[in-house]
Structures are given as C-alpha cells and as structure tokens.
Amino acid sequence: MQDSSGTTWPSASGQHPPGTVLLDDVTAAHSRTILQPVPSSDPNDPLNWTRMRKNVNFGLACAYTFVVYVVIDIATVVYGQVKDELGFSFQELNQSFAVSNAGLGLGGVLFIPFALCFGRRPVYLASIAVMVGTTVWQARMQTLADLYGFNFVCGLAGSVGEIICAMTIADLFFVSQRGAKTYILTIALNTGTFLAPVAAGYIATALGWRWIWWWSVILSGVLLVIFIFFYEETIFNPSPYPTAATDEPGTHDAEKAMLAEVDSRSPFRPPIRLDIPLRPYRARLALFTRTDSSPRSLFRHVYQPFIILATFPGVAFVALVFGSLLAWLAIALNVQATYFTMPPYNFSSSGVGLLNIPTLIGCLLGGLFGGHLSDYSIKWLARRNGGLYEPEMRLWLAFPAILIAPAGYFMFGFSIAKGMPWPVPAVGLGVYGFGSAALGNITLVYLVDSYRDVIGEAYIGVIFVRNAFGVVGAMCLTPWVERMGLYNMFVCSGCLSIAVSLLTVPMMIWGRQCRQWTAVRYTRMAGKQAEVR
C-alpha cells in the first residue's frame, strides 16, 4: 500500500478479502502493531488528530448516545404512575415502546444518507434539536396520541445514535483500537439505558413522572449547546491541500508540534506533512461538509443498505444476532416494568428503576469482555497467523456469551413467572446483561472490521432489523403471554435466542469465504460512497 508520496507501507495482499489486513509486523525484533487503515499525510485527516482532539470528539459522541438512550428508555419506570393518572393500559404503554422502536428503525434509513453525503455534524445537531422538542412534548403529554406521537418522533431523532457513533469510531480510530472504543460507547449506551431509569424512578417518586422529562429537556439542551461549539466534523474528504494563507501564523503551532511527536512514535505511519495548514476553528465547525454527493447518490444511500443486507452474509449475520438481543431485552424490560408493579412484588417507580442496576453491571462487564479483551485477543491471534488479521478472530470470544446470555434470560423469566424473591430475577438480568453486551459488542466490531468502507449503510440495515425485532417483541408480548403464559413464553423466546446466537459458529467457519465472495461487490459499493479515503 502506498501513501500520496509513493512510500510503501505494510498491508494485506490484494488477494485477501475485505477486512483481512496485516496487523502485526512479525519480522521486527519486537512485534509491532501496524496501523490499519493507513492514514494519509494530511494533518487534517481525523486518523492523524492528536489524542486529546480525538477524545473530545469521541467523548461528545458518547454523551450523545447516553442522552439518546436516556430519553428512549426512562419511560418504563413510570408506567404505573402514567397508568394511574392518564388511564393508559399496560398494553398501550408496551405498544408505545414498540412505536419508539419503529421510529428507531425507520429513521436510520431516512437520515444516515445525509451523514454520508453532508457530514456527521449536521445530523448530530438536528437529532439533538428534535430530542429537545420531543421531551417538552412528553412532559406535557395528555392523550394516547401524544404518547404514540412522542415515541415515534423521538425514535426517529434517536435512530442515528448507534449508527453515526459507529461511523465516528471508524473515522477516528484504527482497527486495533475499535474494540476498546466500542466498549466505551457501550458504557454510555448502557448507562443511559439502565442507570438513568434508576434516577428517573427517584425523580418520579419525589416530583412526579412529568419531571423526568423536564430534566431530559435540560440535559438535551445543554448537550446541544456543547455540540454547537465543540463537536468537529470527522468526515475526511480528500481534496487539494489548502494554501498556507488559510492558517494564521502561530495559530496551530502547539498542535502541529504534538502531531510531529505522534508521527515520530508511530511505526508504519506515513510522515505527516507539517507544511499543510490545519483548518481554522470556524471551518472545523462548519454546518455542512461538501462531498462529491448528488441528489441521486442521496437516494442510492436509502436503498443500498437493504442490498448490502440481502447480499452480504456477514451483515445479515450481525443483523440477526444483534436484532435478537434487542428483542429479548425489550421483552425483559417490559416484563420488568409490568410485573414488578404487581403482587407479589408491588415495587414503586424507584424500585422498578433500581432493577436496572444489575443489568447495567452485567453490561459493563460484558462490554469489557467483548471490547478490551477482544482487542488483545486479535493481536495475539494475528501474531500467531503471521501478522495477518482476519475479522473472524474476534468471534472466538463470542462462544462464552452464546451460553451465558440465554442462561440469564431463562433465570429471569422462570423466576418471575414462579414469583420467586426479587434477587433471583435481578441476578438473571445481570447475567443476561453480561452475555448480551459481550456478544453484541463483538459482532458489531466484527462488522466494522469487515466492511469499514460501507459501514454507514451496513449499519443502517443492521439497526433496521434490530429495531424490527424490538417492535415485534414489544407488540407481541401481551398476546404472547395471554396465549402461552409467562413461563412458556420465556421457554419459547429463550430457545429462539440460542438458535440465533449459534449462527456465530458457521460464520466462524465460512466467514472468510463469504467476505471473499462479496469482495467485488464490496469494492464497487465502496467506490460509490460519498467519502472515499
């Protein structure tokens, strides 16, 4: 592989399928990790940014993910209060959760093409602005139409959350760093999903259920202001180098010195051209980033995710596994919100919220297993493979999670169906949280590593399927339980979870052949992206 100066850098041979890269220099006296993808020589390339600059942007992306899932998931802890005050049934409240998932699935299809064509920044800002408005709407809710309308619009606004944050990780970080960064993003997601309802329960008990939404208005409003002034565009569209006149003398001397230090410490990194000026602050915060996109290409980004989903086995695998994890989680959360307010438990809103703590702990530990440990494992496996990294190497750590997640799910479901003491289902939630977070993290990073150049569109298909599973899980829960009973419903859904998770085994065996089979199509679709590194 060559940079713009003609220097050759280590890379996987062109005969290898997409995702297979040379990750470790086993010819050196001491093994060294090779940077993949190879960054350009331009200091404005996000891969060349200083660590602090990367961390600020990534930290804001994590804060965004946290707020999105706060707004989406805190409603379940106040189901009892909302039912008493506004007269909604538990079935209607469960259906509102399904409506939210429908918005989450549809929004990515509609809005991520704008992130591909016009940059990440405008999509982030628009999403947060809409969330501010929808939380005001929810705080003033009176009718069933308000309940469904808020959840759908909020789902649309938050739909880009995981997709655009995964794109941000791919923009900023190398293959050997993505597992750890995805774990950090998972912490933000799970904190919003499981810890925020704990606080919401106490707020609702002390101030009333409407105040959980007024606090969400404040939180999302503050985030919007911070994003306006501090979040930089991470899309990198190679273009002619700017003239030196665009960079005021001395403006970025300190940052250029830091770039030079990074350059000197990193093996296999093309030398950073310090004669290229860094973009000024105003240009970094431009609302739109111009690419070679057109209205026609924008429409193509709407339907192409479904072509990728249907023709790339690796993408379909991740969609099914990740989607099923959300379906079982949606069932567990709705069962928790409904049955723990009834005898023999009779929990208050704060008590229901506290049940999210074991799930959060399990998710954090599972994310660590599937994140940091995954990064270490692929380096070790790549060294044993002559330095060559195959994305399927990440899937080895999925096997414990395949067993642990269903075990926790069965433990939660069977114990609550039998009315066992609350610590038993609470432990089950924690065990399921560990397994689902580990398996979800591993499969998502596998997707990024395999199909980085079409990751935005691949993610759209994955999230669409995932939220379709969530809609089905939430919509079918009440009639499913009425028809089969709670115990048998968990038997059936738990067996389905095992069957879907076991798809990891054939992907371990034939995943490389699948990537080889789709290589030509992948190259063609990658060439049609709005931004090409």
Per-residue pLDDT, 356: 87
Tell me the two tokens of residue 244.
Answer: 């030196």
Q: What is the pLDDT of residues 179-200, one digit of tens each?
A: 788 888 888 988 898 889 889 9
Q: Which residue has the higher pLDDT, 504 or 444?
A: 504
Q: Which two tokens stand for residue 477?
A: 């829960």
On the question of pLDDT at 246 being above 50, the answer is no
At 6, give phi and psi (nearest 5°).
95, 0
173, 50 contact by CB (below 8 A):
no
b/e map 377-404, b = 16+ CB within 10 Å? bbbebbbebebbbbbbbbbebbebbbeb
Name the helix (H) or strand (E) containing 152.
Answer: helix 144-158
| Both tokens assigned to 328 | 């079982």
Residue (of 276, 266, 271, 278) closest to 6 by Cα position: 271
Q: Look-up: residue for tokens 């089950």? A: 428
Dihedral sign, CA of 482, 359, 391, 45? positive
Residue 508 tokens read as 């371990």
Distances (CA, A) of 220 to 140, 211, 518: 17, 14, 41
Sign of the C-alpha dihedral, residues 136, 139, 142, 147?
A: positive
pLDDT tens profile 265-292: 555 566 777 777 778 888 888 888 776 6
Q: How many CB atoms lie within 10 A of CB 284?
A: 15
The partner residues of 24 in beta bridges, in order of sequence, read 33
At 496, is the pLDDT very low, low, confident or very high (cuts 50, 70, 90)? very high
Confidence (pLDDT) at 245? 40
Q: Please, which pLDDT band fits residue 136 given cuts at 50, 70 and 90?
A: very high
Kindly indicate the confidence band of residue 1, based on its pLDDT and cuts at 50, 70 and 90. Answer: very low
- The answer to whether 24 touches 379, Cβ cutoff 8 Å, is yes
Are 50-238 and 293-532 the same fold in CATH? yes
Q: Would you state the pLDDT for residue 269?
A: 63
Read off the pLDDT of residues 420-431 as tens digits, 9 standing for 90 and up: 999 999 999 999
**Residue 268 is encoded by which pair of tokens?**
């296999």
In whole angstroms, what is the distance from residue 75 CA to residue 151 CA?
10
Note whether 442 and 395 are within 8 A (CB): yes
- What average pLDDT does the chain have? 84
Asked if residue 416 has pLDDT above 50, the reply is: yes
In CATH, what number does 293-532 get? 1.20.1250.20
Neighbours of 509 (CB within 10 A): 10
Amino acid letter, residue 106: L
Judged against a pLDDT cut of 70, whether residue 168 lies above it is answered with yes
Q: Which residues contact 476 (CB under 8 A, 6 or more apart)?
A: none
Calpha distance 55→244 (Å, rounded): 27
Taking residues 302-311, what's their average pLDDT? 90
Q: 50-238, what's its fold?
A: Growth Hormone; Chain: A; (1.20.1250)
Q: What is the pLDDT of residue 31?
A: 52
Q: Is the pLDDT of residue 263 over 50?
A: no
- Of 348, 422, 329, 359, which Cα lies nearest the Cα of 78? 348
The answer to whether the beta carbons of residues 46 and 174 sit under 8 Å apart is no
Q: What is the mean pLDDT of residues 401-407?
A: 95
Task: Give, in order, the Cα–Cα distances in Å from 89 to each of 93, 147, 301, 460, 478.
Answer: 6, 12, 39, 33, 11
Domain ranges of the chain: 50-238, 293-532
The pLDDT tens digits for 53-105 are 999 999 999 999 999 999 988 988 888 899 989 999 888 988 888 898 888 88
DSSP character for 250?
T
